[in-house]
């Protein structure tokens, strides 16, 4: 019984230390716009993908072959990115029946960024839902790009670029759904990224499609995320549970 009490006491102490001295939160930047320079590009880290000589377009990267001359074309696949222990998988669907579509990481040569590392000039992730059409490399109306993480994360910043590979326009709209929930129309605040506080594992993006062409077509250029951590209330419940275990062990010892 004494061992049980000691174990409970040690666990309580450790949890208390964790709650009181949590590690600093590290932001992980998935900079999808970084493709096209001689160095410093942000490219898929695993899985199967294709470049312009293999069935994609130019210097872009595609999750499947969508151009003639490189074998059988098909829609689907995914682009996988891992950074700081977090893995993000990009996939796409399109059309009224939400059929599989192809993810494309569009390039800009050269891409440029500001002092904070956010895109000034660049593209990002888009969707191909038609074959042999280089104008279909962004997210258009009725096309959905989904980013699925291997663990719960909190999105702190979203970066969007328009069809001209520059920052999405202030006051323009896009569509967003978290973990398969309701589709919400979001208004862009302007600049390279906009601040958010969204927690989940799956985030789906599309365009409203009612503005001018330059703003109704978009790329997902960046996601700034942190790994989701338990709320203080969660720590309190864990501590209370361990305290009850310790008390029960003490009562058994008294008998």
pTM: 0.82
pLDDT averaged over every residue in the chain: 85
Most confident of 2-6, 22-26, 129-133: 129-133
Percentage of residues in the chain having pLDDT higher than 70: 77
Quote the pLDDT of residue 250.
58
pLDDT of residue 254: 56
pLDDT for the residue 235: 43
**Spatial distance between the Cα atoms of 142 and 186, rounded to a whole number of angstroms:** 16
Statement: residue 183 has pLDDT above 50: yes
Q: Which of 177, 65, 79 is nearest to 128 (CA)?
A: 65
Residue 252 has pLDDT above 50, yes or no: yes
d(CA 201, CA 199) in angstroms, rounded, equals 7
Cβ contacts of 182 within 8 Å, gap of 6 or more: none
- Is residue 240 scored above 80 in pLDDT? no
Regarding predicted confidence, which is higher, 201 or 243?
Answer: 201
**120, 114 in Cβ contact below 8 A?**
yes
Judged against a pLDDT cut of 70, whether residue 51 lies above it is answered with yes
């Amino acid at each position: 019984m004494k061992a049980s009490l000691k174990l409970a006491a040690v666990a309580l102490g450790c949890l208390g230390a964790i709650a009181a001295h949590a590690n600093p939160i590290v932001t992980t930047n998935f900079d999808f716009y970084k493709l096209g320079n001689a160095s410093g590009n942000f490219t898929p880290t695993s899985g199967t993908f294709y470049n312009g000589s293999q069935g994609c377009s130019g210097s872009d990267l595609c999750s499947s072959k969508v151009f003639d001359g490189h074998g059988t074309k098909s829609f689907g696949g995914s682009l996988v990115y891992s950074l700081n222990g977090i893995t993000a998988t990009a996939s796409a669907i399109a059309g009224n029946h939400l059929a599989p579509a192809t993810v494309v990481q569009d390039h800009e040569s050269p891409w440029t960024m500001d002092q904070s590392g956010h895109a000034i000039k660049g593209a990002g992730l888009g969707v191909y839902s038609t074959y042999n059409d280089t104008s279909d490399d962004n997210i258009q109306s009725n096309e959905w790009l989904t980013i699925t993480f291997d663990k719960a994360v909190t999105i702190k910043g979203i970066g969007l670029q328009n069809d001209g590979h520059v920052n999405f326009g202030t006051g323009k709209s896009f569509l967003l759904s978290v973990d398969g929930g309701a589709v919400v129309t979001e208004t862009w605040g302007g600049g390279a990224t906009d601040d958010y506080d969204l927690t989940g594992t799956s985030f789906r993006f599309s365009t409203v499609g009612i503005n001018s062409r330059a703003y109704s077509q978009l790329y997902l250029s960046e996601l700034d995320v942190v790994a989701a951590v338990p709320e203080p209330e969660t720590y309190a419940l864990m501590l209370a549970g361990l305290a009850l275990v310790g008390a029960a062990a003490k009562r058994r010892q008294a008998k």
